[in-house]
Homo-oligomer: A and B are copies of this chain.
Amino acid sequence: MSNHILRCITCKKEFDPKPGLYYCVDCGYIMGTLEVIYDYESIKKESAVKEKKFDKKASMYQFDFLLPAKLKSQLDEYVGGTPLYKFDLLGIKDVLIKYDGSNPSSSYKDRASSIAINRALEEGNDTIFCASTGNAASSLAVLNAHTEMKTSIFVPAAIPAGKLAQLEISGAEVFAVEGTYDEVYDLSLELGLKKGWYCRHAAINPYLLEGKKTGAFEIIIQNDFNIPDYILVGVGDGTVISSLYKGFWEFKEIGLTDKIPKIIGVQAEGIPAIKKVFDKGKPYSTISIHGKTIADSISVGKPRDVIKACTYIDASGGFYITLTDEEILDSITELGKLTGIFAEPAGAVPYGGLKKLIYEEKISKTDTVCLVITGNGLKDIKAVEGVIRTETISTKDLEKRFK
């Protein structure tokens, strides 16, 4: 028997889970994203949960009482349990940094892919698919390589060779399609669902968010149940930020905590789709804009999880801000110099966001803050080549300098 039901975020209709059910058909695939709802009252009473000793380095499956899948493989044992560091930054003592670059495929996306793979295997699927130019695809390919199930990835033909190579090395079947990301995404959804393949599109399949929410659980247990006042995170499609809210909300719901932090989404000024919808106010609606940013992972004009990302962040008392590409590059280098953490552009934006909010006096130096860094800087070396300031020196001149 399933440990959860599904509920449409717009019309509130409830569904029993079944294979192939990804969204509320009445409301459509953007407005009708589903929430996975557990029996929180029962979980609250379970002594195994109330008295559970959490482990700061265990995988995310230590939270399986609030997950729609169980740990299945040895790779799963290394998904989650990522570092929570504390650094004095920008005048604030002990800024928390949740660093997800040490997951098996070096990004936050592994939390979602692991759940998708385990559910797909349980349902007996022979293929799992997604459209992605980046972290979601490589995460799926890496974590699924060792199973019997096939991985199919749809990418725009124009993606960088390095990213394509990574997918091929993990044995995925790659369709490099002539078209924009949005076109490829929509087409993959149509074709994949027609084939009956398992869908790893985080903003459509509600189970993906369930994996991602474990980042919030880990922030709580790794900080000894002290909930920060603010969480900052980069936002593209809106799934990670939604998942963080749900994680904090669920731990409160089952009585393990009594507070939800204000969650602040950081977008790129060049393509701030969700911020536009959020600032316009309720009722939240879909949006499709054009624009660009160097922060590849949050360069999204047609965000697929916009309804959750607005509804949840409003409920948390949070809001959205933007950074220019210049501010994003500065975020990478300043964060690196102060902490050693090398973040991909979209991973570094929470640092720039914090800097801006301190400057604007929206966050004070006595507030407690957590930055969520979603990906390893090695994911996108190209983006940072512009920061180089070093000049070449001859051996002779070097010797002179050391005289």
Contact = CB atoms under 8 A, between A and B. Distances in A.
Interface of A: 57-58, 74-75, 77-78, 81, 83, 85-87, 102-106, 141-146, 157, 161-162, 164-166, 168-171, 174-179, 183, 187, 191, 194-195, 332-333, 336-342, 376-379, 381-382, 384-385, 387-395, 398-399, 402
Contacts of A74: 83, 85-86
12 contacts: A57-B57, A75-B340, A78-B102, A145-B337, A168-B389, A169-B377, A175-B393, A177-B392, A178-B393, A178-B394, A187-B395, A378-B378
A61 to B, nearest CB: 14
Contacts of A86: 74
A127 to B, nearest CB: 12
B174 A390 contact: yes
Given A171-B337, A336-B171, A337-B169, A176 B391 contact: yes
Given A340-B75, A398-B187, A385 B161 contact: yes
Contacts of A398: 175, 177, 187, 191
A339 to B, nearest CB: 6
B177 A87 contact: no
B170 A337 contact: yes
A381 B191 CA distance: 31
A385 B57 contact: no
B340 A104 contact: yes
Given A187-B398, A333-B168, A393-B177, A145 B339 contact: yes
Nearest to A174: B390
Given A338-B146, A388-B161, A393-B176, A191 B81 contact: no
Contacts of A106: 106, 376, 378
Q: Which of A174, A194, A336, A389 counts the most B-chain CB atoms under 10 A from its CB?
A: A336
Contact of A177 (B377, B388, B395): B395
A220 to B, nearest CB: 18
Given A378-B106, A378-B376, A390 B168 contact: yes
Contacts of A194: 402
B338 A145 contact: yes
Copies in the complex: 2
A113 to B, nearest CB: 10
A395 B179 contact: yes
A183 B395 contact: yes
A385 B86 CA distance: 37
A385 B169 CA distance: 10
B166 A342 contact: yes
A381 B169 CA distance: 11
B164 A388 contact: yes
Contact of A381 (B142, B171, B381, B387): B381
A382 B382 CA distance: 11
- Which residue, of A145, A177, A342, has the highest number of chain B Cβ atoms within 10 A? A342
Q: Which 4 A-B pairs have the closest CB atoms?
A: A145-B340, A171-B337, A162-B381, A169-B336
Contacts of A103: 102
A165 B384 contact: yes
B393 A342 contact: no
A232 to B, nearest CB: 20
A340 B157 contact: no
A235 to B, nearest CB: 23
B146 A339 contact: yes
A131 B145 CA distance: 37
A391 B173 CA distance: 11
A340 B194 CA distance: 27
A187 B382 CA distance: 30
Nearest to A97: B74
A194 B403 CA distance: 9
